[in-house]
Amino acid sequence: MVAILQLLICVLLFGGYFFLRPRNKNVGLFLMDAYLLGISIYVTGSTYSELFLNYSDSGSVADIARVSLMSAIAGAIIFLCVFQNRYPKSVIYQRLLLVNPGRLERAFVVGGMLLCGSVMVVFILSVFRNDSIGALLSIASITGDNSLTAARKMITSGSEGYFAPGYIKQFRDILPAILLSAFMLQKGLQKWKSSEKLIFFSFMLIALSANLVAGQRGVLFILFVTLAISKFFCIKSGRALGINSDQGYGLVVLPILILFFIFGAMSLLLGRVQNESGSNFIVLYDVVANMVERIFLASVVENTNAFYMWDTDLGRGGAYWLEELGKVLPGSQGQGLSNYLAQANGASSEGNSPLGLPADLWFTWGWLGLIFFPAVYALGVGVIDLLLHRFNGPLAFGSRIYFMIILPFIFSPYGFVLYGGVVVVILVIGVGVLRKGKLLRNVAFT
């Protein structure tokens, strides 16, 4: 009965949210949608677990998730009541390619590619120079059982050497998607020069190689979906402006097809799916099923299994976040809560099983924080979305595409820092400097 009441309140709050939400044709991508989607996914998984899976603590986890969603929607509604009129009224497709980024901003993107590319090359070389990890990644052993999984855990945990995971993440996992998107949006439907093709595809190859070495399926998912969405907006905006081009929406589907192939191959190498039958159709089905399971159930089930480990020591005033952030510093890669939760789920101590956002807020701040912080988080997401709208242009829109994809999977507000929050702040400041510190005025939105 309580669960039904909680879900009914969520539905009513969503009604108010969609009534106030800006029109989709005007904003294109709205980060608040992604934030609420992430919590809704956790609520869906936890409610399913409560109803159909036999876990003793599934009801407690589901209650935590639904209370968090109610708070988040309420925060989104408050934000829209205050700032709704500040959003653009013109059609996004008609104004996206009208902003001339200028030479400095274009150079900023290419310079960012060179910097990130250099960091990723150094990372790849460092990994292969490590005897233990290099042996696991060799052609001879990578086809063995879980070799790539073992290498990935060593890189992440630092058990075989420090690879600066918190710093490398910014240059390997976050910036490449944003910079590639901005590069595409700067060109729109214009014909690419040979030098531009060389820069784009060379950087793409380096980014792909770095993430294959690190065994990061999720990052590759974000990268290719970002490319697909960017190409969609290039084509849609170009046609809205009357630009003639033979580029069709098949170029939007192409990155998705490549993603399925790479994701499936990595799933096999990581041992996430098995090819015992030898049927490609069954493997494809298993890959899709694995993706759905990872999105909707994996985090919930792992958190529920280990509930006995995180249902105590509540409300420590954010100390847990500071402890986790401290692990990005050299020599600080000791055992953390996510490692203990992984062990509780049958994985090794090098594994990683983070708390989902609702569970993380409850563990860190208690019930009072669970009622308060999702709403505050919604206000923060709304402010960032509004700022990116006001700057407009390829870099800002590329950042919005990235955040639209990553926000549903950011497991904690402190994770917002690790997964690109600081990077976007730097990009916004950089764009402001390149444009001589002048924000686009509201007249640019009409």
Distance CA 199, CA 192 (A): 11
When pLDDT is averaged across residues 182-206 and rounded to a whole number, the result is 90
Distance CA 420, CA 406 (A): 9
Region of residue 291 (left: phi > 0; alpha: psi -120 to 50; beta: else): alpha
Amino acid, single-letter form, for residue 278: G
The pLDDT, as a whole number, for residue 76 is 97
Amino acid, single-letter form, for residue 93: Y
The pLDDT, as a whole number, for residue 442 is 36
CA 395 vs CA 183, 188, 277, 383: distances in Å: 8, 13, 46, 17
CA 400 vs CA 297, 412, 432: distances in Å: 26, 19, 16
Tell me what percent of the residues of the chain surpass a pLDDT of 70.
76
| Contact present, 14 and 74 (Cβ < 8 Å) | no
When pLDDT is averaged across residues 425-437 and rounded to a whole number, the result is 68
CA 377 vs CA 16, 370, 382, 409: distances in Å: 18, 11, 9, 14
pLDDT tens, 303-313? Answer: 999 888 887 76
Could you tell me the pLDDT band of residue 186, with boundaries at 50, 70 and 90? confident
Name the residue among 75, 8, 58 with its Cα closest to residue 359.
58
Residues whose CB is less than 8 angstroms from the CB of residue 232 and which lie 6 or more positions away in sequence, other chains included: 249, 252
pLDDT at 437 over 80: no
Residues whose CB is less than 8 angstroms from the CB of residue 236 and which lie 6 or more positions away in sequence, other chains included: 93
**Of 384 and 36, which is predicted with more confidence?**
36
When pLDDT is averaged across residues 336-347 and rounded to a whole number, the result is 76
Q: What is the distance of C-alpha 386 from the center of its chain?
A: 19
Exposure letters 19-34 (e unless 16+ CB within 10 A, then b): eebbeeebbbbbbbbb
pLDDT at 34 over 50: yes
**Of 269 and 116, which is predicted with more confidence?**
116
Could you tell me the pLDDT band of residue 49, with boundaries at 50, 70 and 90? very high
Q: Provide the whole-model pTM.
A: 0.84
Distance CA 234, CA 329 (A): 39
Q: Look-up: residue for tokens 């990595």? A: 266
**Of 66 and 245, which is predicted with more confidence?**
66
pLDDT tens, 123-157? Answer: 888 877 776 666 666 654 555 555 666 666 666 65
Tell me what percent of the residues of the chain surpass a pLDDT of 90.
31
Could you tell me the pLDDT band of residue 180, with boundaries at 50, 70 and 90? very high
User: What's the CA angle centered on 271, arms 269 and 277, to 5 degrees?
Assistant: 95
CA 24 vs CA 30, 87, 367: distances in Å: 8, 11, 34
Distance CA 337, CA 323 (A): 10
**Of 166 and 61, which is predicted with more confidence?**
61
Name the residue among 357, 356, 355 with its Cα closest to residue 373.
357
The pLDDT, as a whole number, for residue 312 is 72
The pLDDT, as a whole number, for residue 138 is 64
Average pLDDT of every residue of the chain: 80
Distance CA 131, CA 134 (A): 5
**Of 59 and 434, which is predicted with more confidence?**
59
Distance CA 344, CA 307 (A): 9
**Of 90 and 306, which is predicted with more confidence?**
306
Could you tell me the pLDDT band of residue 445, with boundaries at 50, 70 and 90? very low
| Contact present, 276 and 311 (Cβ < 8 Å) | no
Could you tell me the pLDDT band of residue 396, with boundaries at 50, 70 and 90? confident
When pLDDT is averaged across residues 79-103 and rounded to a whole number, the result is 79
Name the residue among 147, 148, 130 with its Cα closest to residue 214.
148
Residues whose CB is less than 8 angstroms from the CB of residue 278 and which lie 6 or more positions away in sequence, other chains included: none
The pLDDT, as a whole number, for residue 17 is 97
H/E stretch holding 260: helix 250-269
Q: Which two tokens stand for residue 191?
A: 């014909």
